[in-house]
Structure 1
Amino acid sequence: MPGLAGVIWIVVVIGAAVLVHRYVVFPTVVRSESMRPSLEPGDVLLAGRVRSRTRLRRGEILVYRDAQTSERRIRRMIGLPGDRVQIADDGVVSVNGDAVFEPYARRSGGFRGSFRVPADRFFVLSDQRGGPHDTRTWRESFVPVGEVVGVARVRLLPWPIVATGVLAR
């Protein structure tokens, strides 16, 4: 019977891992250079599942499904539903009239714009502003609330784990 106890233990562990992955956290891989220097291509992140979209905060790194390609994307949340986001010629971002402190952003000038975030959307930007991955240049600059699947919490790889402080807001 010791063999049966071992099998039961393995089944319990696998079941717990599946439940944790499905409902609590999941790994995701950074696939583009859009979040440099905060995150590098190939970095593995542990993302917390989003239960309540009302708890999401500006500055958090979101993991969401791209509505057009169904791929997972990773971008920084800048605007919440109802916010007015303005980007000045020098790349400085303001939300509801207040300049946003963004030590992680690599700004590029020349683009300016004003965005009113719809009630069921988030406004996200890459940390590498001005490149082809920047959502400012997309036809649709907003992420539907229902497409957000997680918030990046911990960088697992590359090893050793580096505490960068950029995953928190």
Structure 2
Amino acid sequence: MASKKNDWVEWIKILLVAVVIIVFVRMFIAVPIVVEGPSMLPTLENGDRLIVEKLSVTFNQIERFDVVVFHATMKKDYIKRVIGLPGDKIEYRNDQLYVNDQPVDEPFLAEVKSQLEENTTYTTDFSLEEDIKGNKEVVPEGHVFVLGDNRTNSTDSRQLGYIPMDDIVGVAKLTYWPIDKISLLE
């Protein structure tokens, strides 16, 4: 009888340790999310499931073109691509991204842009100073500027303004569902 009681105690200990590990991982290391909506097409589709790692945020290692999840409202998280980092001057002219007055390629948009009709732009022209809430010349310290990859159908920094780094949940690193799309995000 004592042996059965010891078995139950051991199982309870194992379950408690497993729960603590799961809670620790979800709070500090990584969390699964589901993409909602078309704003990250063609990179991510509605219903894609991702692993979002949190350590990059903890150690302030967000980089240009990272795909991040952030708190857009109290109840809603958005997933977008970081285009501008603190201190960057961001501008779009003639469907070309300029960072600090230098043209920057966006390889993740190359395929969709190649399918556009002639004289059609994928991203409408804008500058931080004239068109973005706050009318700043550069991305403010402690903030990032984000855009959805589906530039014609995305609520992003063009409407929301600059995203505080404190609102970023993590960086999307891996697509794990659907199975045929398992891959690291670029």
Give the alignment's TM-score, normalised by structure 1.
0.87
- Give matches, 1:89-168, under 5 Å: 89=94, 91-105=95-109, 106=112, 108-109=121-122, 111-115=124-128, 116-131=138-153, 133-135=154-156, 137-138=158-159, 140-163=160-183, 167-168=185-186
The answer as to whether partners of 1:121 and 1:143 remain within 8 angstroms in 2 is yes
Aligned position for 1:51: 58
The answer as to whether partners of 2:69 and 2:80 remain within 8 angstroms in 1 is yes
Matched, 1:62 2:83: no
The answer as to whether partners of 1:123 and 1:141 remain within 8 angstroms in 2 is yes
Consecutive unaligned residues in structure 2, runs of 5 or more: 1-5, 114-120, 129-137
What displacement does 1:61 show?
0.2
Aligned position for 1:73: 78
Q: Secondary structure at the match of 1:14?
A: helix
Higher percent of residues as helix: 2
Of 109-118 and 72-81, deviating more is 109-118
Structure 1 residues 120-153: Cα deviation after superposition (integer angstroms, max 9, x where no partner): 310001111122x142541x33111211110001
Structure 1 residues 7-34: Cα deviation after superposition (integer angstroms, max 9, x where no partner): 1111111111111101110011100101
Give the alignment's TM-score, normalised by structure 2.
0.79
- Give matches, 1:22-37, under 5 Å: 22-37=27-42
Give the distance between the partners of 1:160 and 1:33, measured in 2 at CA: 19
Percent identity, aligned pairs only, is 28
Give the distance between the partners of 2:123 and 2:20, measured in 1 at CA: 52
Q: State the aligned residue count.
A: 161
Q: Secondary structure at the match of 1:104?
A: helix
What displacement does 1:109 show?
4.5
Q: 1:16 aligns with which of 21, 27, 39?
A: 21
Consecutive unaligned residues in structure 1, runs of 5 or more: none
Q: CA RMSD for the aligned pairs?
A: 1.8
The answer as to whether partners of 1:128 and 1:134 remain within 8 angstroms in 2 is no
Give the distance between the partners of 1:41 and 1:12, measured in 2 at CA: 35
